[in-house]
Homo-oligomer: A and B are copies of this chain.
Amino acid sequence: MSPATLLALDWGTTNLRAHLLGPQGSVLQRRNAAGGVMAVSDGRFEAALRALCGDWIDQHAVPLIASGMIGSRQGWAEVPYLACPATPAAAAAALRPVPLAGGRVLHIVPGLIVTGPDGQADVMRGEETQLWGAGLADGACCVLPGTHSKWAWMAAGDAVQRFQTYLTGELYAVLVQHSILGRGMQPGTADAAAFADGARLGLAEHAHLSHLLFAARTAGLTGERGPAALPDFLSGLLIGAEVGSACARGAPDVVTLLGEAALMERYATALKLAGRQVLAAPAEATTRGQWRVALAAGLVAAQP
C-alpha cells in the first residue's frame, strides 16, 4: 500500500466521514459513522474520533485535518468564519489547531461568511472545502443541493467570491411531515412528470412561493393529482423556485452540481428547464479540497 499522508475528516451535523489519504491526496481507505456533531454528547469529540479511526491515528504519524460543522459553536472548537472572497491559502492560514492526547494536533478548516445583495449575512461550513476540491474555473457557479443547499460563485485563484443558502430541503421535510400539505400525500412513488410540472411552476412563480405552495394542496383537493404524485410535485415547486431565484441572481449559462446523485438529478432537471447547461463536479471533491488546504498550510507536500 502507498504511504499514508493525511487523515482527513468530513465532520458534519449527522455524519463523520474519515479518509486516509496517500500521495497527492489519493484515497487509500474510507470509513463512515453516524457520529456527527449532533450525535456527540458532552463534547466527547476525541472519543468519537478514536472510536472510528483510533487505529489509523496510532499506525500513521500523519497530520489530521477536519472540515464541516465540527468547527461550529456546537462542534469541537468554534473557528471564526473567513470572509469572502476566500481562497484555500486564506483557509490554510486560519486553520484552528486542536491538541489531541499524545501530542498530535487536529487542524479544523474555517467556514465562510458573506453579506448578500439583501444585506443579510450568509454562512457555510464544509461546503467551502468541497468547492476548493471541485476544480471550478474562474466565474463558475456551483450548486451543492441538500437540507440547506448552497449556490457559490467562484473567482480567480480558486476564491469563493460569494454564495447563498436556500432552505429548500428543510422546507420540503417540514412541510411533508408537519403541514397540511403532507396530509394528502402518499410518499414512496417517484413521479418525474409531477416533479417537472412543479419545477416549471416554481421557476415561473418563484416570486410568489408562499402562495404557490398551496397548489400542492389544491391539486390534491380537486383530484388533479393523485396522492402519490404530490410529494414530487411539491419537491418540484421548491427546487424550481430555488433555481428561479438563483437565475434571477445571476446564475450563468453553465452550472456545476456537486452532491448526492438522486438530488443532483432533480436539480439538473430544474436547471435544464431554466435553460442552463449542467456539469457534474468530479468525485472526491471533499478530500481533494482537504488536501489542497493541507498543502497550502504545509501539512503535506506535493510530490515531484
Taking the complex as formed, is A122 at the interface, i.e. its CB lies under 8 A from any CB of chain B?
A: yes
In the bound complex, do residue B178 and residue A120 qualify as a contact, i.e. CB atoms below 8 Å apart? no
CA A206 – CA B201 in complex, angstroms?
Answer: 16
In the bound complex, do residue A212 and residue B120 qualify as a contact, i.e. CB atoms below 8 Å apart? yes
Interface of A, secondary structure class, is helix
CA A248 – CA B214 in complex, angstroms?
Answer: 18
Chain A 199-236: CB-based contact to B (< 8 A → 1; otherwise 0): 00100111111111111001101101000000000000
Taking the complex as formed, is A131 at the interface, i.e. its CB lies under 8 A from any CB of chain B?
A: no
Taking the complex as formed, is A98 at the interface, i.e. its CB lies under 8 A from any CB of chain B?
A: no
In the bound complex, do residue B122 and residue A210 qualify as a contact, i.e. CB atoms below 8 Å apart? no
Q: From A120, which residue of chain B is reached at the shortest CB distance?
A: B215
**How many subunits of this chain does the assembly comprise?**
2
Pick from B171, B177, B218, B249: contact of A120, CB under 8 Å: B218
Taking the complex as formed, is A46 at the interface, i.e. its CB lies under 8 A from any CB of chain B?
A: no
Pick from B121, B166, B208: contact of A249, CB under 8 Å: B208
In the bound complex, do residue B179 and residue A148 qualify as a contact, i.e. CB atoms below 8 Å apart? no
A10, chain B: closest CB distance, angstroms: 20
Q: From A172, which residue of chain B is reached at the shortest CB distance?
A: B210
In the bound complex, do residue A213 and residue B167 qualify as a contact, i.e. CB atoms below 8 Å apart? yes
Taking the complex as formed, is A193 at the interface, i.e. its CB lies under 8 A from any CB of chain B?
A: no
Q: Given A121-B218, A123-B218, A215-B118, A210–B224 Cβ distance below 8 Å?
A: no
Number of interface residues of A (CB under 8 A): 49
Q: Given A167-B179, A167-B213, A121–B224 Cβ distance below 8 Å?
A: yes
Excluding A113-B222, A120-B212, 19 further A-B contacts by CB distance (< 8 Å) are A73-B221, A121-B215, A121-B218, A121-B221, A121-B224, A148-B214, A165-B214, A166-B210, A166-B211, A166-B214, A167-B210, A174-B178, A174-B179, A177-B178, A178-B178, A206-B208, A208-B249, A209-B209, A209-B210
What are 23 A-B contacts with C-beta separation under 8 Å? A73-B221, A119-B201, A120-B212, A120-B214, A120-B215, A121-B219, A121-B222, A122-B214, A122-B218, A123-B221, A123-B222, A148-B214, A167-B179, A167-B210, A170-B180, A174-B175, A174-B178, A177-B178, A206-B208, A207-B245, A210-B241, A210-B245, A211-B242
